[in-house]
Amino acid sequence: MVGAMQTTTVAISGTGVWTPPNVITNEELCEAFNEFVRRDNERNADAIAAGERKPLAESSAEFIEKASGIKQRHAHDRTGLLDPDRMCPNVPDRPEDQMSVQCEYAVNAAKKTLADAGRVGEEIDMVLLAGSNLQRPYPQIAMEVQEAIGARGFAYDLMAGCSSATFPIQIACDAIRAGSATKALLVNPEMTTGHMNWRDRDSHFIFGDAATAIVLEPVSEARAGSFEILSTRLLSKFSSNIRNNGGYLNRCDPETQNAPDKLFHQQGRRVFKDVVPLASRYIKDHLGSLGLTVDQINRFWLHQANRNMNDLIMKYLLGRHATPEEAPLILDTYANTASAGSIIAFNDHHDDLPAGAVGILCSFGAGYSIGSVILRRL
Choose between 123 and 209: whose C-beta lies nearer to ligand COA: 209
242-243 and 184-190: which strand pairing?
A: unpaired
Binding mask 152-191 for ligand COA (x = CB under 6 A): ----------x-----------------------------
Decide: is 67 part of the binding site for ligand COA (CB under 6 A): yes
Q: Identify residues 81-110 at the interface with ligand COA (CB under 6 A).
A: none
Could you tell me which residues come within 8 angstroms of residue 346 by beta carbon, excluding any fewer than 6 positions away?
A: 15, 301, 359, 361
Decide: is 55 part of the binding site for ligand COA (CB under 6 A): no
Size of the site for ligand COA (CB under 6 A): 20
Measured between alpha carbons, how far is 42 from 282 in angstroms, rounded to an integer? 49
- Of 211, 320, 332, 206, give the one whose Cα is nearest residue 271: 206
Segment holding 137, helix H or strand E: none
89 upstream amide cis, omega within 30 of 0: no
| Residue span binding ligand COA (CB under 6 A) among the ranges 20-28, 83-91, 138-146, 301-309 | 301-309
Measured between alpha carbons, how far is 55 from 170 in angstroms, rounded to an integer? 48
The DSSP bridge partners found for residue 257 are none
Question: Which of 131, 189, 194, 268 touches ligand COA (CB under 6 A)?
Answer: 268
Given the residues 30, 103, 162, 173, the one annotated as active site: 162
- Of 164, 182, 163, 167, give the one whose Cα is nearest residue 102: 164
Is 103 assigned a catalytic role?
no
Decide: is 236 part of the binding site for ligand COA (CB under 6 A): no
344 and 321 in contact (C-beta within 8 Å)? no
Question: Which of 126, 206, 213, 373 touches ligand COA (CB under 6 A)?
Answer: 206
Measured between alpha carbons, how far is 217 from 172 in angstroms, rounded to an integer? 9
Decide: is 63 part of the binding site for ligand COA (CB under 6 A): yes
Q: Identify residues 242-261 at the interface with ligand COA (CB under 6 A).
A: 242
Binding mask 329-358 for ligand COA (x = CB under 6 A): -------x----------------------
Question: Which residue ranges make up the site for ligand COA (CB under 6 A)?
Answer: 59-60, 63, 67-68, 162, 201-202, 206, 242, 266, 268-269, 271-272, 305-306, 309, 336, 365
Q: Which residues are known to be catalytic?
A: 162
